[in-house]
Structure 1
Amino acid sequence: MSLTSVTQSPRSTGTGTATRGLRRAATVAALTAAAVLAGAGAAFAHVTVHPDSYPQGASDGTLTFRVPNEEDKADTTQVDVFFPAAQPIASVLVAPLPGWTSTVKTVKLAKPIVTDDGNITDAVSEVLWTGGKIAPGQYQDFTVAFGQLPTGVDQLVFKALQTYSDGNVVRWIDETVKGQPEPDHPAPVLTLTAPVPDGGDSAAPSAAPSAAASAAPNTSAAATAAKPSDSTARGLGIAALVVAVLALAAAGLGLVRARSRQ
């Protein structure tokens, strides 16, 4: 009996060590993947503008504001996007959207915008969409075409209000400060890059949703990424899952080898 006990002890220890290693690898990999994917989900839930960059002074382009519904039991019934007053955009045209009514509001400029076609004294202050609804678990794209973007600035901040059928209003107005954590309700930001030289193409990047997609009925928010950063986060999450599988396979191989020594 004593010999049997001594013989079984190392076998049991080897198997137990491999099993514990397997569990640790699975736990670490799962937590890593969950953390990365949770970050992607948080970014996806924000109101965003697409594309997220344009050259300064770009003309005849479009801006699409993507609005997800974050509530479980209420519909989004109104979306109000405010245009930056300090960097005015003279005019916009709103893409038609079934079920929604749009209203463009303007403001008198203290300093007219000088163009080749004359001075512009009014600029867009906000665009309001009402009458439709975005159900829980869905999003909607709201698209406008602009005449020309301003120059001399590196970004445009579009603050937005999202109203729900239960009366709740989410204020997407917080500005992100470099070096600090992203606020809970960041305002959509359009980055303005260096102006395109004369003769260059100032068209929007290909990231802008198509006009057909923008005018389509509400779509499941899980169907597409809101921003390139979300796609990157999802890619990292997938990579973490791959690491988990490899870790499990390696630990499992160790377990098999431990058992084969029995």
Structure 2
Amino acid sequence: MPKRFVLRAGAIVAASALVLVGAASSASAHVTLSSPDAKPGGYAKLIFRVPTESGNTSTTKLVVSLPKDLPFAHVGAQVKDGWKVEKKTEKLAAPVKVGDVTLTQAITTITWTATAGGIPPNDFDEFALSVGKIPEGVDALSFPTDQTYSDGEVAKWADVAKDGADEPEHPAPTLKLAAAITPVAATTSSDAKDSSDPLARWLAGAGLLVGLLGLAFGLRPRKVAPVAASGEAGTPDSGKAQS
């Protein structure tokens, strides 16, 4: 194989690898959302992971929008050193009942603004909310987020992915809600119990029989070696005969 062909093939493979790595880095660099305890009907901690994609600018502001059609009765924002946090409350178009509370207004946006350097280039930080109650009967909640850089550029993470479609270029941070799992009672039916009992009794009987056989063999008397008869060498009678 010509040396030139080998070098050209190697260059193509290396370039392809760099393109793939760059694409993977870009795809994983958007603002993401996770929660360690979110479940329908409960309270949850929401964690927004914010990377600074730029190589020469910092992230200086983050604005998270909360669902207006499914508002939260409680919203608490994480207090962070080097950041100022603000909550914006709006009047709802119509009252919304959340659990035992009927809301006519709700917190709709949370804004963190850097008071120091912000998130440096190629680094990331996390911002947390405590919210509740999580609405029931929904599979996911989206939180459109604006990320502002130190040069004034604003990245809007607001596109909601459609079912079966590829991930959009600027996806909104989305909280996936797993369906509640009904625990299975740790009981068996009478039929299963009846069918398993004979087998259990048979196995117990077989084990007992094996144990008894082992005990019988263990207690069997051992054979005793015969005692030497009188008159043999080494006995008193043999000594008298020699005298």
Aligned to 1:79: 62
Q: CA deviation at 1:149?
A: 0.8
In the alignment, the residues of structure 2 paired with residue 61 and residue 167 of structure 1 have an alpha-carbon distance, to the nearest angstrom, of 33
Q: Is the 8 A contact 1:52 1:190 kept in 2?
A: no
Cα distance change, pair 103–181 in 1 and its aligned pair in 2 (3 A) = same
What does residue range 195-206 of structure 1 map to in structure 2 within 5 Å?
A: 195=180, 197=182
Q: Is the 8 A contact 1:155 1:192 kept in 2?
A: yes
2:203 matches 1:194: no
Aligned to 2:212: none
In the alignment, the residues of structure 2 paired with residue 20 and residue 103 of structure 1 have an alpha-carbon distance, to the nearest angstrom, of 62
The structure whose Rg is larger is 2
Aligned to 2:211: none
What are the Cα deviations for residues 86-142 of structure 1, in whole angstroms up to 9, with x where unaligned?
Answer: 2222221112211101112223331322424x4343332010001341111111111
User: Match for 2:150 among 142, 165, 169?
Assistant: 165
2:88 matches 1:105: yes
What does residue range 90-129 of structure 1 map to in structure 2 within 5 Å?
A: 90-109=73-92, 110-116=94-100, 118-129=101-112
In the alignment, the residues of structure 2 paired with residue 179 and residue 23 of structure 1 have an alpha-carbon distance, to the nearest angstrom, of 41
Cα distance change, pair 166–27 in 1 and its aligned pair in 2 (3 A) = closer
Corresponding letter in the other structure for 2:65: F
Q: What is the DSSP-based 3-state SS (H/G/I as helix, E as strand, rest coil) of the residue aligned with 2:23?
A: helix
Aligned to 1:137: 122
Q: Is the 8 A contact 2:140 2:175 kept in 1?
A: yes
Q: TM-score, normalised by structure 2?
A: 0.63
Q: TM-score, normalised by structure 1?
A: 0.59
Cα distance change, pair 34–62 in 1 and its aligned pair in 2 (3 A) = same
Q: What is the DSSP-based 3-state SS (H/G/I as helix, E as strand, rest coil) of the residue aligned with 1:72?
A: coil
Q: What is the DSSP-based 3-state SS (H/G/I as helix, E as strand, rest coil) of the residue aligned with 2:25?
A: helix
Q: Is the 8 A contact 2:76 2:131 kept in 1?
A: yes
Aligned to 1:44: 28
In the alignment, the residues of structure 1 paired with residue 163 and residue 152 of structure 2 have an alpha-carbon distance, to the nearest angstrom, of 33
In the alignment, the residues of structure 1 paired with residue 75 and residue 181 of structure 2 have an alpha-carbon distance, to the nearest angstrom, of 21
What are the Cα deviations for residues 61-100 of structure 1, in whole angstroms up to 9, with x where unaligned?
Answer: 2111111112233222111000111222222111221110
Aligned to 2:189: none
Q: CA deviation at 1:146?
A: 1.3
In the alignment, the residues of structure 2 paired with residue 39 and residue 54 of structure 1 have an alpha-carbon distance, to the nearest angstrom, of 31
How many equivalent residue pairs?
181
Q: CA deviation at 1:34?
A: 3.6
Q: Is the 8 A contact 2:98 2:133 kept in 1?
A: no
Cα distance change, pair 41–114 in 1 and its aligned pair in 2 (3 A) = closer
In the alignment, the residues of structure 1 paired with residue 154 and residue 30 of structure 2 have an alpha-carbon distance, to the nearest angstrom, of 14
Cα distance change, pair 54–113 in 1 and its aligned pair in 2 (3 A) = same
In the alignment, the residues of structure 1 paired with residue 86 and residue 154 of structure 2 have an alpha-carbon distance, to the nearest angstrom, of 19
Q: Which has the higher contact order (CA 8 A, sep 6+)?
A: 1
Q: CA deviation at 1:169?
A: 1.4
RMSD of Structure 2 on Structure 1 (CA): 2.9
Q: Which structure 2 residue ranges, 5 or more long, are not aligned?
A: 184-243
Q: What is the DSSP-based 3-state SS (H/G/I as helix, E as strand, rest coil) of the residue aligned with 1:40?
A: helix
User: Match for 1:185 among 170, 175, 187?
Assistant: 170
In the alignment, the residues of structure 2 paired with residue 59 and residue 135 of structure 1 have an alpha-carbon distance, to the nearest angstrom, of 35
